[in-house]
Structure 1
């Protein structure tokens, strides 16, 4: 079997970022004293160490991220939790890579704003405030006028959908930089201490599959699985043809091997913002 053209040695991938992309510093989470104190508090009396299993690992990870004193974790609570859904269209949808009509991105956004999507019920149940961000939809979007609006709509449009990555890079470097900065700006101005992210966009599964394959070395046939909403109803022949198209697209962008290069060549505006 021929080697998947999307593969490349991880050691040879460029780590260079554009000069105008200023990423915020991320502080380390290692704290030996905090870790020791938390492990003592997570050990139920009379039970062996690590009795909580996977739950202990998750609690420790969250505690490290919070980076506070151990006593403060008795007082932790959701403070204005936020759910942010980024919406954008993908040029590769023109290649018939999705079973959804191109207009479905707009329809799904309107469902969110009308409170009719499943995620609205989850947000209401857990007290999350919903924000929908137009990251790059193909058409202008306006809040619904026929019903009460659920959540807020932010306009951060980078372009009217990405370009068809079968023909060239999905985004220019400038667009990709702008999208990353827009994502930072959206989150920076939201309240609260908890955030959940979501995305809406016809054919976004294609970009996600290409990025997963390019950055993590997953074969395209596995990255572009048939479990996704946009691919689950394909017969074998249709699915093989789509994978072959994606393989050709990956080969066209074989030199986009660094994370940012891959994002610009294969990604979407909503993915860049997230």
Structure 2
């Protein structure tokens, strides 16, 4: 299985040029805050002081999880395919936000336990009808993992534009993401497991117990790809592959919430330089997301109390990317505007 090689974006000479370009805009030094660091990051990714946001797209990966048989979700598994139908009917939050921000939206069947047939707007990359129950056996085989990773890479390779946002849908996938987080960060399970779609305190405890027993059952699993195959989902694995390819192609990665970040966690353990290409859209209200972001050294742009998934945070952060690119490209300098600079 080929893992893309990702080059870090560090370039001291270009960093100085970007800093000069940003600091010479008609504003006090640092007064655009995070937009300034975002503009510099875009410049390093695109290897230029003239940056652009070109044909941004969000990929929403959907998949089902065998672990739902253990009673870890407040919703039945059928909600996965029903929500995919909602995406296709243009009725979900991600449809609204993507349309509002002029962003292409692609829905991917990575492994939903439902036969959609040939459908306009649905990319059929189904690896299987959902993963197996990782409480008893690995969620997927290494062959299935390889297929999911390759599908993700191919989807991004064929995608125009230079910004890729990530979203997901899959009943049970917060359980998979919590297991991945625990295994790859070493943080206690109690810090990783949350309410997901709305579990009660009793339900959260049940979920934690299920994951704890599963981790004990697979105690020897430690390597990132083995952890992904054992505890992940087809949609999570496909996102991991898509992220790795997007960074190799020097695209900007817009990272959504808890499940999307768990896919990135795997990718970052394989290729740490991928983090140079990531813009973290928001910190969600799902228990564990803040700690997962801290483990990655990430600073999210937004704190809106979101915990929906679907890529909604990615879509909502997109205007900030446009703002960063546009002030760098369009804002006057002190010299061009004949504005006096600050005195020492």
Q: Do the structures match in fold with TM over 0.5?
A: yes
Residue in structure 2 matched with residue 239 of structure 1 by the alignment: 204
Residue 99 (structure 1) shift = 0.7
Q: Where does structure 1 lack aligned partners over 5 or more consecutive residues?
A: 1-20
Q: Does 1:86 align with 2:61?
A: yes
Within 2, Cα distance between the matches of 1:186 and 1:224?
30
How does 1:1-274 map onto structure 2 within 5 Å?
21-43=1-23, 44=25, 47-48=28-29, 50-68=30-48, 70=49, 72-73=50-51, 76=52, 78-142=53-117, 152-226=121-195, 228=196, 230=197, 232-234=198-200, 236-274=201-239
1:130-150 per-residue CA deviation (whole Å, 9 max, x = no partner) reads 111110111211366xxxx6x
SS of residue in 2 equivalent to 1:80 = coil
Taking a change above 3 Å as real, the CA distance of residues 117 and 143 of structure 1, as seen in their structure-2 partners, is farther
Aligned residues: 238
Within 2, Cα distance between the matches of 1:46 and 1:54?
14
Within 1, Cα distance between the matches of 2:15 and 2:216?
46
Q: Give structure 1 regions of 4+ aligned residues with deviation exceeding 4 angstroms.
A: none
Q: Where does structure 2 lack aligned partners over 5 or more consecutive residues?
A: 240-344
Q: Is the 8 A contact 1:81 1:192 kept in 2?
A: yes
Q: Is the 8 A contact 1:162 1:269 kept in 2?
A: yes
Aligned-residue RMSD, C-alpha: 1.6
Normalised to the residue count of structure 2, the TM-score between the two structures is 0.66
Q: Is the 8 A contact 1:137 1:160 kept in 2?
A: yes
Normalised to the residue count of structure 1, the TM-score between the two structures is 0.82
Task: Write 1 or 2 for the structure with the bigger share of helix.
Answer: 2
